[in-house]
Structures are given as C-alpha cells and as structure tokens.
Amino acid sequence: MDRIPKQRYYDEEFYALEAESFWPRVWQMACRLEEIPARGDFVEYEILDQSVIVVRLGDDNVRAFYNSCRHRGMKLVEGSGSRRSFVCPFHGWCWSLDGANTNVLRPEVFDESNLGADDLRLAPVRCELWGGCAWINLDEGAPPLRDCLEPFASKHDEWKVDALRTEWWKSCLLPVNWKLATEAFMEGYHVPQTHPQLLPSSHRSEASSVHPIIETSLHFMRTLGSGMGGMTHDNDVRIAEGLQNMSLPDDPAAAMASWRGAVNDAVTTWHRARGCDFPDLNDLDRRGVIDPIGFCFPHYFILPTYSSASSYRIRPLGPEQTLFEIWSLTRYPNDRSLGRPTPPEPLAPDDPSWPTIPAQDFSNLPRQQKGLHAKGFDFMRLSTQIEGLISNFERVVDGFLAGLPYERLVGAIQKTNTTIDVGVADLGLSEPVRCSGVLNLSGSVSDD
C-alpha cells in the first residue's frame, strides 16, 4: 500500500491495460457547459483512441455520441463548433442533433438490412450533467454519475460550484505519465521545497499600522492568486484589502478567526449584491464543508478559495505523455458567462507565460518521469499519513484493471473523492492486477 512500483508510470503493457479496462469504465469530465451554450453547439472530447461528440439539444438536454459515421467510420466533427445537423464529410450521410439518421446518399444501392433506422442512429455514449460540466462514460452499464462523484459532489453543491464560469483556460503538454501528473497535486508535502513563496517564513512584515495577521494573510492571498485567477481572485483580494485596518482581539487564534470571519462575510455580501448565486462562506466554514483542494476520481480537481477556484483536468496521450488543463473559474453578475471559452493551444511546461505556481509544479514533473527510469530506483515509498490519497487512487485503478464489479468499486471511488494530505484508507480491494512483468501494489511480480 505504501510502495508504488515505478513500471506503472511508463510500461507500455500497463498503459494498454488501462486503455482497455480503465478509461472505458470511468466517468470523465468531457466539457464545461459554457462550451456548448446554445442548441447545436458541440465539443469533441477525446480519450486515447476514442472520440466523442458532446452536443446541446436544449437547456438541460445534452447528449453524447461516438464521433463515427455509421457508413464507413469517418469522423463527423473535429474540435468544437455549432451544427444544425451532422454531415459526414466523406459521403454526405446526415444525422439530426439527437442522433437520428436523416439522409443516406443513394439508398437504393444498399441492401435494406444495412439501412434500419435504429441501426443507423449515431451510437450513444452515456452523458450526465453536474457542476457546470458534461460528463461521459463509455460503459452503458456504469453506475449513475452521482454515485461516482460523492461526497465530492454534495460538498461542492453547497459551495454552488455550478454557478462558476470560465475566466481563462490554459493547457500544457507534459512528457509524463498521467498518473504522475495527477499525484503531484494529491499532497501538500511538496510545498516547502517547490513553492517556498507560500510559506509564512517567506514574508517579512514591514513596519505598518496593519495588524501582522492581516498583513500576512493579504500577502498569502496575493501570492497564491498571482497570475492564477480563481486560486485567489483579485476581487476577493480587493475585498479583503478593504478590511485591513479593522481591529482584532489580542489572542492570536481569536484574531485569526475574527479576520477570517470578516473576510468571509464581506466576500459573501459583495458577490450576492452583484446577483451571484453565492453561499454563506462562514456557514460552510463552521460546518467544515469545503476543503482547499478537492479531487474527483479519476482526473478532475477543484481548488476553491472564497468566491472562485482553479480547476484541473488530466488526460493520457501516451505512456509518458499527458494533457494537463487548468481553468480559472469565478463568478459573474447573474451567473452569466463572459462567452463561449476557446479551447487553448497546449503550451510546453517551460513556457514563460505560465504563472509561478504551475510553472514550479511543471518543472518537477519531467525530471521525476526521467528519474523513474533509473536502474537503482524500484518503487515510490509513500507516507501512509499524508500521501495516502496516492495509494488509495492507485489501488482503485488496480480494482478496475482487475475487472472488479461496480458494486465493489463505487465505495472505493468515493473514498478517493476527497481532499489531499490524507492517510491510507481501507478500500476493500485486494485483487492483484495481472500484467506480464509489471509490479502490482503488493510489490510482487504478476505474470500471466
């Protein structure tokens, strides 16, 4: 449980097993609903060799189909756009937005057995909505989306995550395994070395009439939000700056609680006055509802702070190639979007335009991927107290690869839909993964 064999992060056979037994069975965030605001708007979602069309038919009616012509398999669309119908660019066969075939060129030259209406419908893909996003699952027998998002979904419902809108959207091509990229954000243990600017010791208080707790807090908010938008939004920093001359109790703990409560109240009041659907932040704090980082199995993160959030999505492109996307999400008056967001062109991890925090993370990952190949390195050794989410995550992946039924997997998935810096959990999953020459999590070699 606390040792992760290195081969899982680069072995081609293990990657092929994930492509066969893992990705076709898990719920995946396919697009934000802002990407498809009107009827006929569509997005192509790609996972490995599979392409899926996600299209809006109405206000709450979003459908998904395999992106493949029923004639000879031609991809119908690429990227994103808007259509009144889907037309095959090869032979002109047509489908309505709901997947029904509406035209076959010269139908008289085909045998009637190949032209059944049901058989010609675009092949459907499971699609459900949550949190301002459309989610897909390639397995028609998968459990409902909500079952696989809890308790992540209920917590973020209280924070009204569905009212968030895209401020900006960036992506990075990382020369690393997708699990390595995901696990880099499952613990805060790396912060002192990787993000030293976030440590209290990095800030020296200036001679000021502002209370030291307030000054330090504002410094942290500005540093965390620098270039990152939703990670701590400028709107919320300005609101907090407007309170910087308030009086605080002498007791440090009481002073921090008083400051935190005042900022929460001011942020809540300001956003509600703009017409935003906004929660009572102090109520959420009192009940311990929202964590600073939330992971949703298998590839989605939300990092909520005050009104806004950063959000991550991770997808494999190869055994040692990953597409890593970052959204800055915030709230606008009456919960209106700024407009349909444009999919970004992926940047290199060392592109100078990256904000400081992701630039620091991205600088680590390619070096770690290379280090895994060292002949003198066999496995990662995890802290069972603060790196447990990595172990939990990897063992749920193993459960899928072992072909376990959903009734056993759902409970384990829910134990990974949590915050970071947690301990190793009892998932009730112990079946080894059989993959020739690849070490499973028990540390033994599994051979067919």
Give pLDDT tens digits for 377-420.
999 999 999 999 999 999 999 999 999 999 999 999 999 999 99
Q: What is the pLDDT of residues 312-367, one digit of tens each?
A: 999 999 999 999 999 999 999 998 888 999 999 999 999 999 999 999 999 999 99
Mind listing the pLDDT tens digit for each residue in 241-275? 999 999 999 999 999 999 999 999 999 999 999 99
What pLDDT, in 10s, does the model give residues 87-126?
Answer: 999 999 999 999 999 999 999 999 999 999 999 999 999 9
Contact yes or no for 311/329 (Cβ under 8 A):
yes
Q: What is the mean pLDDT of residues 367-372?
A: 97
Report the chain's mean pLDDT, rounded to a whole number: 94
Whether the pLDDT of residue 206 is over 80: the answer is no
Is pTM beyond 0.85 here? yes
Of residues 434 and 296, which shows the higher confidence score? Answer: 296
- pLDDT at position 430: 73
pLDDT over 70 at 168, yes or no: yes
**Distance from C-alpha of 173 to C-alpha of 320, rounded to nearest angstrom:** 11
- What 363-370 contacts at long range (C-beta under 8 Å, 24+ apart), as own/partner pairs, is 364/184, 364/190, 364/194, 365/174, 365/176, 365/180, 365/181, 365/184, 366/174, 366/175, 366/176, 368/176, 368/180, 368/184, 369/9, 369/10, 369/175, 369/176, 369/177, 369/180, 369/320
> Crossing angle of helices 406-416/388-401, nearest 10°?
160
How many percent of the chain have pLDDT more than 90? 90
Provide the pLDDT for residue 432. Answer: 60
The pLDDT score that the predictor gives to residue 448 is 35
Token pair belonging to 167: 């401020």
| Structural tokens at position 53 | 């069309």
Which among 182, 134, 156, 166 is positioned nearest to 27, based on CA atoms?
A: 134
Q: How far, in Å, CA of 104 to CA of 110, rounded?
A: 10
Beta strands in 143-246 (DSSP E): 165-174
Peptide bond into 143 cis (omega under 30): no
Cβ–Cβ contacts within 10 Å for residue 36, how many?
23
Q: Find the mean pLDDT for residues 208-216.
A: 89
Maximum distance among all Cα pairs of the chain, rounded to whole angstroms: 88
Looking at the chain, the whole-number percentage of residues with pLDDT higher than 70 is 95
Q: Is residue 6 a contact partner of residue 376, using CB atoms and an 8 Å limit?
A: no
Cα–Cα distance for residue pair 7/15, rounded to 1 Å: 10
Please choose, from the candidates 206, 219, 221, 217, the residue with its C-alpha nearest in 3D space to the C-alpha of residue 246: 217
Of the listed ranges 18-22, 78-82, 167-171, 193-197, the least confidently predicted one is 193-197
